[in-house]
Amino acid sequence: MSHHTLASSRIAVLGYGSQGRAHALNLRDSGLDVVVGLRPNGPTWHKAKADGFTVAEPAEAVKGADLVAVLTPDMVQPALYKEAIEPNLKPGAALLFAHGFNVHFGQITPRADIDVILVAPKGPGALVRSEYERGRGVPCIWAVHQDVSGHAEAKTKGYADGIGGNRAMLIQTDFKEETETDLFGEQAVLCGGASELVTKGFETLVEAGYQPEIAYYEVMHELKLIVDLFYEGGLAKMLQFVSETAQYGDYVSGPRIVDAGTKARMKGVLSDIQDGTFAKNWIAEYQAGLPNYKRLKQADLEHPIEVVGAKLRARMPWLQPNTPPAAVAPLKKAG
């Protein structure tokens, strides 16, 4: 099924962050009719206008739409649904999400007379856009949660096609699986796990008397080399490109760090996601004005690895491609 399913449809994209912008541009370049729904005169309003889109307030954008793509942050979606979408979306239209959080955890209960679907590209907005422009695409996962029209699957695949996903790969899922695996990945491995692994490694070296600058390079900076190898060719490519010494150290010491106890605690993290504990806590935190979130974030930003990191990154001209050489300050020798 190609995006011709949506050929005569009007698509409203709500939100114009990196994903929203990429989706809107790709859909338009696929020949589809796109309107962008945003708060008047916000920063993204002018950006979408400058990109040549018809821009309207969310409620107006929803009124004429056959498909509404909700691409705003999770925590603002319930109010957006109540105020702009629920009263204005026509029966038989489709409500599309890129993450199942609010539907799965009951923060949004979609009307019974609309299709509820999901398309999530497995890449950041910039890549979704650049791959599309190259004539390629980023793999997407997709799901149908509620099919009222009888065409929900075709609409879902049509949207995925419109953003370039079917040029790469489409994998079917459901809202529960997408939501729970996404949250687990962020918490246990990608954001939570990796940042704690790096900071604890840094602290271990600094507490043992090594220079913070050296510690930074060894545990944070060089992680990129490994992650890129994983991304390009999995464990096999990583093992092919690191030294034999590094390989042997991996085999004997890796399981001492991330052991059965770590895995048991990962299962605890997964349980909290599955039974709604994490969602309940996050929603309460957001509604309270984010006091813990702000405090914990500040602690991360003030960690010694950030202090030394800022100083070292200023000496890496490839991170600031437009900085003339003279603008880079000289580095004083560590105390």
328 pLDDT more than 80: no
* Residue 218 annotated as binding site: yes
Q: For residue range 115-129, what is the model confidence (pLDDT) as tens digits? A: 999 999 999 999 999
45: domain CATH number?
3.40.50.720
Tokens encoding 165: 């996903």
Looking at the fold, whether 79 and 194 belong to one and the same domain comes out as no
Query: pTM to 2 decimals?
Result: 0.93
* Residue 193 annotated as binding site: no
Looking at the fold, whether 154 and 42 belong to one and the same domain comes out as yes
Looking at the fold, whether 144 and 74 belong to one and the same domain comes out as yes
Rounded to a whole number of angstroms, the CA Rg of the chain reads 23
The dihedrals phi and psi of 14, each to the nearest 5 degrees, come to -100, 115
Local confidence band at 260 (pLDDT 50, 70, 90 cut-offs): very high
Tokens encoding 316: 């890496």
Q: For residue range 139-191, what is the model confidence (pLDDT) as tens digits? A: 999 999 999 999 999 999 999 999 999 999 999 999 999 999 999 999 999 99
* Residue 39 annotated as binding site: yes
**Beta-ladder partners of 97:** 70, 118
Tokens encoding 229: 């190898």
Tokens encoding 209: 């008397």
Looking at the fold, whether 282 and 168 belong to one and the same domain comes out as no
Looking at the fold, whether 199 and 164 belong to one and the same domain comes out as no
The dihedrals phi and psi of 121, each to the nearest 5 degrees, come to -70, 140
* Residue 192 annotated as binding site: no
* Residue 182 annotated as binding site: yes
* Residue 19 annotated as binding site: yes
Looking at the fold, whether 101 and 249 belong to one and the same domain comes out as no
Q: For residue range 89-109, what is the model confidence (pLDDT) as tens digits? A: 999 999 999 999 999 999 999
Which residues span the domain enclosing 212?
190-315
* Residue 130 annotated as binding site: no
Which of 173, 198, 232 finishes a domain? 173
Give catalytic residues, as residue numbers.
99
Which of 108, 139, 173 finishes a domain? 173
**Beta-ladder partners of 143:** 118
Count of domains for the chain: 2
- Spell out the SS3 assignment of 49-97: HHCCCEEECHHHHHHCCCEEEECCCHHHHHHHHHHHHCCCCCCCCEEEE
d(CA 271, CA 188): 12
